[in-house]
Amino acid sequence: MAEFTMELNDEQKEVRDWLHGFAADVIRPAAAEWDEREETPWPVIQEAAKVGIYSLDFYAQQYFDSTGLGIPMAMEELFWGDAGIALSIVGTGLAAVGVLANGTEEQIGTWIPQMYGDANDVKVAAFCSSEPDAGSDVASMRTRAVYDEAKDEWVLNGTKTWATNGGIANVHVVVAVVDAELGSKGHASFIIPPNTPGLSQGQKFKKHGIRASHTAEVILDNVRVPGSCLLGGKEKLDARLARAREKAKKGGERVKNAAMATFEASRPAVGAMAVGTARAAYEVALEYAQTREQFGRPIIDNQGVAFQLADMRTSIDAARLLVWRASWMAINGRPFTAAEGSMSKLFASETAKKVTAQAIQILGGNGYTREYPVERMHRDSAIYTIFEGTSEIQRLVIARTLAGMPIR
């Protein structure tokens, strides 16, 4: 077990500097254009693939870093560049985590490479959990998966929404209900292979922020997939459902569902994304405050501005430490006995919203225009308190964990 440390080792520093250079030289110059276009930045994703950032190998190296700091360090640097483009680069990772969290070794080896493609033929993947009537309330999910025993196939019907890369993905990972009586414990995850009949893209959303990342509905109309596309396999699913039924009879509900397993693994990474955006806005505000003069002196000489910057930096560093702690705990198998994963996402996402708003205030009228990036950063930051569990849900998870109550 790796000891917890606040210091990156030499190899991690080298990777961090490499990512920072890519973010500064490739992502940032393209950020405003793709934000305005509201389209997937395929050329940037391809550049990331060419240098090895958008690849299964790179993701795996960071994911299995024994310190747990590989993923949060990578997320912070890429999202420091631009949140929308960075999400288009890392969005496939959520589907990959879904497979890693719930799949067999054979499924992991078969499907995750197909999620990324290669530098000459870039692919993306989508994780589909939310629905029009089931966002935070996963127990209200209506998408159904019915097993056709005669053909050893699963038949899926329903509509998913808010899916990053939804409809344009090569591989979709879909969470569906297999036993409605068990509520959220009766869910399972399925791989939808490329070009499967019945899967189509619904509405593509025009968003407030992260506009370079594709977000859309995914419609499943009698989608048939082989039994092998059930993540974890049917034997494991049947055993889990049997335990859930037994616990339900006894009044217990301590069995995790497929969507929650994915979100628990990814929440600290979302916190790291927020840290990257907050840090970017802080750096713009700091530089502006040091060079912008009013009344014959730099505005940082005014306590009203200086104290804001002090609070911004303090919050960013605190958020990073919470993210790093949760990431270290996760990779080393330490249980989140106080919902430390949710803590990290909650604090970091709230920090990003606050810091980007403060950055606009420090820049004044300039900060409100698209001539400066803090306006875009502020729009982008709003998503962190919403996706993969709203701030309200994070507080609920933390409170119920502290009280020893089940998480539904």
Catalytic annotation present for 388? yes
**For residues 204 and 142, is the Cβ–Cβ distance under 8 A?**
no
Residues whose CB falls within 8 Å of the CB of residue 402, separated by 6 or more in sequence, listed in order: 338, 339
DSSP 109: H
DSSP 38: T
218: three-class secondary structure by DSSP = strand
Q: What is the dihedral of CA 208, 211, 214, 217, to 10 degrees?
A: 10
**For residues 192 and 160, is the Cβ–Cβ distance under 8 A?**
no
Neighbours of 304 (CB within 10 A): 9
Residues whose CB falls within 8 Å of the CB of residue 2, separated by 6 or more in sequence, listed in order: 66, 67, 68, 328, 331, 332
Closest CA to 198 of 161, 224, 172, 167: 224
329: three-class secondary structure by DSSP = helix
Q: What angle do CA 93, 97, 99 make, to 5 degrees?
A: 120
> Catalytic pick from 106, 350, 388, 392?
388
173/157 Cα distance (integer angstroms): 14
Structure tokens at 377: 């950063």
187/178 Cα distance (integer angstroms): 6
In the 3-class helix/strand/coil scheme, how is 55-95 assigned residue by residue? CHHHHHHHHCCCCCCHHHHHHHHHHHHCHHHHHHHHCHHHH
372/378 Cα distance (integer angstroms): 11
> Which amino acid, residue 59?
Y
108/206 Cα distance (integer angstroms): 33
Q: Would you name the residues annotated as active-site residues?
A: 388
